Amino acid sequence: MASLKLFPNVSVAVSSSNSLPRRFEKGRVSACLNVDLQAVDSLKVEKLNASNEVMEAEKRVLVGTYARAPVVLSSGQGCKLYDPEGREYLDCSSGIAVNALGHGDPDWVRAVTEQANVLTHVSNIYYSVPQVELAKRLVACSFADRVFFSNSGTEANEAAIKFARKFQRFLHPDDKQPATEFVSFTNCFHGRTIGALALTSKVHYRSPFEPVMPGVTFLEYGNIQAAKELIQSGKIAAVFVEPLQGEGGIYSATKEFLQSLRTACDDAGSLLVFDEVQCGLGRTGYLWAHEAYGVFPDMMTLAKPLAGGLPIGAVLVTERVASAINFGDHGSTFAGGPLVCNAAITVFDKIANPSFLASVSKKGKYFKELLVQKLGGNAHVKEIRGLGLIIGIDLDVSASPLVDACRNAGLLILTAGKGNVVRLVPPLIISEQELERAAEVIRQCFRVLDNNNSN
């Protein structure tokens, strides 16, 4: 039996044997049985169609939940990504703010491979060293006293929902109707599982799956008076808020708003939950986004960048909240496994370094200045906002044509808000030279907005 390479690191077995399994019966891959191994060089031509083949195969075998960009990404290094044909892309999307250390960071690779050789998974029936070590770091560098690990941001928010309701029952054991409702805000995004989805403001995300979890009231982001009045009703178990909204359009809270939520929650006995799934862990130039405001929550949810590309989420809680949670109240088979936690330790140690955070802040300011300089006078630009390396360009038209044009020019960027905001969340390791290139590509591609508008 021979092995034929069709894509990098993917081999397909070729055999003339008649004892093939059912999936290789005539009509499926009969053409493979007659491959001339001496003609392998001719397959180089097929490499040109590798991306198309993957995209066509995806349509046949995956559930259609993603409106994917027409790009197949097969490798990456630093802030660069490559498709099977060898085209290079400057990554200013970071897997949606996940790849904080870029692609192929050597220390991250070492942490993953070394741990994979030792122990990958044991479940939460047992103790494991990397989980405890990661939790110790998160506690030492935050407001929190304890940590619960999950596998994603939406799972972290689901856990926070449960913890909030359990806390209220624990605090008021004799109350037949303890507080069970929640406050969330316009333009927010907290996830796609049924509880987190109920907290997410975009109607089109929720409506196909209704009824979702009841008891959520959406208020205007930043409306201090409305929040105060509702929290004082005594029905609110917790208030969920992003200090800086990512998916919603790169909107920053004010210190006054967050402080008013903190005060109102304290007065009413409600919990304050900061969702830092996207804006936390160095993205703003602060270790935690709320540090910029000097306001601290009872719980904080984390996920995206924490393990540098591996699935992890976390809920950080105070001892007061943790005291309400008992064995069996919540759990997860895969959460906080040794492999993922060892990777996260490496990510956390790098990002938490004060000099690293200072570099994010410096590069964020530089990038913003570049964008203002190159785009500030454009009629389509309403505002350029953000903090650190999470920046939004608010447009008066859809941002999709610009995103497409930039991708064709070798730059990967995202949309946010109602599709009219360009979201820039590059790896935190990006260089100033790469930021300059990104800003210039965006400038050059801006003409498509005029063309699209005229059409």
Residue 123: is its pLDDT beyond 90?
yes
End-to-end alpha-carbon separation of the chain, Å? Answer: 57
Residue pLDDT, tens place only, 8-28? 444 444 444 343 344 334 344
Catalogue the E-assigned strands of 318-413. 381-387, 390-395, 411-412
Contacts of 242 (CB under 8 A, 6+ apart): 185, 188, 189, 248, 253, 274, 275, 276, 278, 279
Residue 176 DSSP code? S
| Per-residue pLDDT at 32 | 41
Sheet holding 181-185, edge to edge: 146-150, 313-317, 299-302, 271-275, 236-241, 181-185, 216-219
| Per-residue pLDDT at 175 | 87
The residue written with tokens 């397909």 in the block is 12
**If you average pLDDT over every residue of the chain, what do you get?**
91
415: left (phi over 0), alpha (psi -120 to 50) or beta: beta
Residue pLDDT, tens place only, 59-86? 999 999 999 999 999 999 999 999 999 9
Q: What percent of the chain has pLDDT over 90?
A: 86
Where do the domains of the chain lie, and which CATH numbers do they carry? 2-47 (no CATH), 75-104+354-454 (3.90.1150.10), 119-351 (3.40.640.10)
Cα–chain center distance at 171: 33
Cα–chain center distance at 261: 25
CB 384 within 8 A of CB 369: no
| Per-residue pLDDT at 84 | 95
| Per-residue pLDDT at 48 | 61
β-pairing verdict for 411-412 and 88-91 = parallel
